[in-house]
Copies of this chain bind each other. A is one copy, B any other.
């Protein structure tokens, strides 16, 4: 029988975040170099202990504020719990992992011991952090296709080809600019701003600038199959 009075086996709880950004046509993650002994010098995810008065999301936002300007974090979502008893040496720590997204146009001031790393070319990481990063990448990849998360990776204003670079880098393969525009337009996500970007060195037609109308994640393609019957009016 379980009881809420019998408080057996308390343990520590940490929150970690894989903060992702697309830059230089690559998907990157924010890591910091450990300054303490277990796995000293290895790269690890930002985060830390859960405090008594905060829930996990509040906690990760607070802790990330030390690394990046919190307003630049356009999206945060729970990833999974990592709880293998030996996932860190010493006393047991259960971790709640998050996925965070930062638009590609911001270059946040990060502390000295912190740096961006290519997700597809990770350095040696501490503990199970590599696994967490890869899970974050996979989550992002699937959500790009059926939600509007793209807004959290894109600058406020962008050309279609810039957006194409972002989607391509995140997904790991080239997407067609034409169809990207068509799909996002059909879903009502793309708003023309009226502005245009100057054409590049070799000439070329100046590109129109767009922005994502909506803030906040939304499912845009909820049911691939077994759709509910269209609501009669």
Across the interface, which residues of B come within 8 angstroms of A94, CB to CB? Answer: 13, 50, 56
Residue A173 at the B interface, CB < 8 A? yes
Q: Is the CB of A12 within 8 A of B3?
A: no
Nearest CB of chain B from residue A9's CB, rounded to whole Å: 5
Of B4, B55, B142, the contact of A83 (CB 8 Å cutoff): B55
When distances are taken between beta carbons in the complex, the residues of chain B under 8 Å from A173 are: 228-229
Query: Which residues of chain A in 85-134 are interfacial with respect to chain B, using CB atoms and an 8 Å cutoff?
Result: 85, 88-94, 96
Per-position 1/0 for A1-37, Cβ under 8 A of B: 1111101111111100000000000000000000111
Docked pose: A94 CA to B83 CA in angstroms: 13
For the complex, count residues of A whose C-beta is within 8 A of B.
61
Closest to A57 in B: B83
CB <8 Å contact, A183 and B4 = no
A29 nearest CB across to chain B (Å) = 18
Determine which of B4, B37, B54, B174 lies in contact with A229 in the assembled complex, contact meaning CB atoms within 8 Å.
Answer: B174
Question: Do residues A4 and B146 form an inter-chain contact, with CB atoms below 8 A?
Answer: no
Are the C-beta atoms of A224 and B4 separated by less than 8 Å?
no
Q: Which of B13, B91, B225 contacts A4 (CB 8 A)?
A: B91
* A52 CB-CB contact with B under 8 Å: yes
Pairwise interchain contact A145-B226, C-beta atoms closer than 8 A: yes
Contacts of A192 in B (CB 8 A): none
A81 contacts across to B, CB distance below 8 A: 56, 78, 81, 96
Query: Which residues in B have their C-beta under 8 angstroms from that of A78?
Result: 80-81
Of A7, A47, A90, most buried by chain B (CB within 10 Å of CB) is A7
Cβ contact within 8 Å between B226 and A144: yes
Minimal beta-carbon separation of A129 from chain B (angstroms): 13
Complex Cα distance, B50 from A54, in Å, reads 21
Binding site for B on A (CB under 8 A): 1-5, 7-14, 35-38, 47-56, 78, 80-81, 83-85, 88-94, 96, 142, 144-146, 167, 171-175, 180, 183, 221-226, 228-229
A9-B49, A167-B226, A180-B226 known, 13 other contacts, Cβ within 8 Å: A1-B35, A1-B36, A8-B49, A13-B13, A52-B85, A55-B85, A56-B94, A78-B80, A81-B81, A83-B96, A142-B223, A145-B224, A183-B225
